[in-house]
């Protein structure tokens, strides 16, 4: 039943998106940042409806840790398609996700993602990957936060996959804060019951900002493992909340 309700809502949202796209195009002619804010508000609202229909309860921790007046680099673990929905439903800053290129095949969704400053990554093309990171650096400089899952793909095991070091160049080159994002139990909503959606209690915790300039030399040298360690510790802590 939950799956049917979600599919019906997604279909309805795609239909409604047509006039909303036109409004976004008009707003963009006058103010690009306002268009991005408009788009994120709509997409976040749609994701909240999907979470409600799916029976997914979200506990949010540490939202006060996110600087409100500067762009940041969000670094998160990745377990489920629901990770993106929970993140966008709770993010307080204008943020573009770095997503796999395959999502560009989904009509309507790719248009919203373009409006939201999202970037599409070809995981098999190193050169294209570097271009995406360079674009992400420019977006942070322009005041838009960037959200990355450095594991590179959804982790289907109990342990996180190694965090790719290249993802952290966005913070190293801009000096922006890194916000560790620890997302728990989202796989229980969908991936553990494919193709069905089940109610689940999930937790998302935004950690304290990490500024590269404040780190010691050894921490900066292994920034990917340092941040992953923080996320791992937080996931273990939050397991008791589920």
State how far the Cα of 205 lies from the Cα of 203, in Å rounded to an integer: 7
CATH code of the domain containing 138 = 3.40.1130.10
State how far the Cα of 234 lies from the Cα of 217, in Å rounded to an integer: 23
Q: Which residues contact 234 (CB under 8 A, 6 or more apart)?
A: 180, 182, 205, 207
User: Which 3 state secondary structure label does DSSP give 75?
Assistant: strand
Q: φ, ψ for residue 57 (rounded to 5)?
A: -90, 135
Digit-coded pLDDT (tens) for 123-181:
777 788 789 999 999 999 999 999 999 987 666 666 788 999 989 999 999 999 999 99
Q: Count of domains in the chain?
A: 1
Digit-coded pLDDT (tens) for 89-132:
999 999 999 988 888 888 889 999 999 999 998 877 778 878 99
pTM of the model: 0.94
In DSSP notation, 96-161 reads EEEEEGGGGGSTTHHHHHHHTT-EEE-TT-HHHHHHHHHHHHHHHHTT-EEEE-TTSS---SSSPP
User: Which 3 state secondary structure label does DSSP give 44?
Assistant: helix
Residue-number span of the structural domain to which 100 is assigned? 2-241
State how far the Cα of 94 lies from the Cα of 143, in Å rounded to an integer: 8
- Give the pLDDT of residue 156: 65
Digit-coded pLDDT (tens) for 219-231:
899 999 999 999 9
Place of tokens 């009509």: 107
């Amino acid at each position: 039943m939950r799956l049917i309700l979600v599919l019906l809502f997604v279909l309805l949202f795609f239909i409604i998106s047509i006039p909303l796209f036109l409004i976004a195009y008009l707003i963009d002619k006058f103010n690009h940042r306002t268009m991005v804010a408009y788009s994120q508000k709509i997409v976040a609202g749609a994701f909240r409806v999907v979470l409600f229909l799916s029976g997914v309860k979200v506990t949010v921790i540490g939202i006060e840790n996110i600087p409100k007046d500067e762009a940041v680099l969000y670094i998160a673990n990745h377990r489920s398609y629901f990770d993106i929905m929970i993140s966008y439903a709770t993010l307080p800053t204008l943020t573009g996700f770095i997503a796999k290129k395959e999502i560009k095949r989904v009509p309507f969704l790719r248009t919203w993602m373009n409006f939201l400053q999202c970037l599409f990554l070809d995981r098999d093309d190193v050169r294209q990957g570097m271009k995406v990171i360079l674009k992400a650096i420019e977006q942070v400089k322009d005041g838009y936060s960037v959200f990355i899952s450095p594991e590179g793909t959804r982790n289907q095991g109990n342990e996180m996959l190694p965090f790719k070091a290249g993802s952290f160049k966005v913070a190293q080159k801009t000096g922006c804060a890194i916000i560790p994002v620890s997302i728990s139990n989202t796989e229980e909503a969908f991936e553990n019951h494919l193709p069905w959606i089940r109610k689940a209690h999930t937790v998302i915790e935004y950690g304290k900002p990490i500024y590269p300039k404040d780190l010691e030399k050894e921490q900066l040298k292994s920034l990917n493992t340092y941040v992953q360690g923080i996320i791992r510790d937080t996931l273990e802590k939050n397991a008791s909340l589920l």
